[in-house]
Structure 1
Amino acid sequence: MDIKTATALHRLRLVSVPEALSFPALLIFGSLLSRISDIDFLMMPLGILHGFLFVVYAVFLLDVWNKAKWSFGRVAFFFLLAVIPFGGLYGDKLLKRYETEAVMASRARREGTVNA
C-alpha cells in the first residue's frame, strides 16, 4: 500500500461517521418532529443532506476499492455498513486500522525496510 491508499482511506473515514449518524439522527429526528408538530419543511433538507452524504460515501468507497485493491466482498461489507443505522461507526473503527497499516507500510517502503 502507498500513501495514496492511506489518503483514500482517510477520506472515506472522514465521511463514514457523518453518514452513519445522518440517518438515525437527522431523518428519524426530522420524521418525529414533523409528526408531533407542524414543522414539515425540515424533511426535505435533511433527506437531501443524508442522500448527499451517502453518495459521497459511495464515491469514496469506490475510490478506496480502486486504490487499495479490496475484494468485492470487503467493499460490499462496507456498503452494507453504510445502509445499517450506526453501521458506519463500526466501519470507521475498521477503516482507522486499515489506514494505520497503509501509513506504516508506506513509511517502511520509503525508508527502505521493506523490499517492494
Structure 2
Amino acid sequence: MDLKTASAIRRLRLVSVPEGISWIILLVCTIIKYGVDKGFDAAPVMGPIHGALFTLYLIFWLDAWNRTKWNKGKAALYFAYSIIPGGGFILERRLSREAEDAVIAARARKEEAANA
C-alpha cells in the first residue's frame, strides 16, 4: 500500500467516527423534538454539523475508493455505513483491520525479500 492510499484510508477512518456520532446525536435530538419536548430544537445546530461531516465522509470515501480500487460491493457497503446510525464505528474498525493486515503483509514481503 502506497503512502497516498494509506492517507486516504486514514482520512476516511478519522471522519467516520465523528460522522457516526453526529448522526446519532441528530437522531436523538429529532426524537426529543417531536416525541418528548416540543420546545427542544437542536436540529438547526446539529443539522449543518452533521451535513458538513457527511460531506467530508463522501469526499474521503470517494478518494479511498479511487485509490484502493475496492470492488463495487465493498464500496457500496462502506457507503451504506454512512447512512446507518453508528455505522461509522463499524467502518472505522473494518478499515483499521485492513490497515493492520496491509502492514503485516508488507512486513512479510520485506522479510521474505531480505531472506532471499
| 2:40 aligned partner | 39
Compared with structure 1, are the counterparts of its residues 66 and 113 closer, same or farther at alpha carbon in structure 2 (3 Å cutoff)? Answer: farther
Aligned pairs (5 A) from 1:83-98: 83-98=83-98
Which residues in structure 2 correspond to 1:70-81 (within 5 Å)? 70-81=70-81
SS at 1:59's partner residue? helix
Inter-partner Cα distance in structure 2 for 1:57 and 1:9: 11
**Structure 2: 5+ residue runs without aligned partners?**
none
Match of 1:64 in 2: 64
- Contact 1:16–1:57 (CA under 8 A) maintained in structure 2: yes
Shift of 1:7: 1.0
Amino acid paired to 2:49: L
**Partner AA of 1:28 in structure 2:** L
Rounded to whole Å, the distance in 2 between the matches of 1:75 and 1:105 is 22
Between the two proteins, the alignment pairs up a number of residues equal to 111
TM-superposed CA distance for 1:29, in Å, is: 3.0
* 1:15-30 correspondence runs (5 A): 15-24=15-24, 26-30=25-29
Identity of aligned residues (%): 41
Residue type of the partner of 2:43?
M
RMSD of the alignment, in Å? 2.1
What secondary structure does 2:51 align onto?
helix
**AA matched with 2:76:** A
Rounded to whole Å, the distance in 1 between the matches of 2:5 and 2:106 is 9
- TM normalised by structure 2 equals 0.80
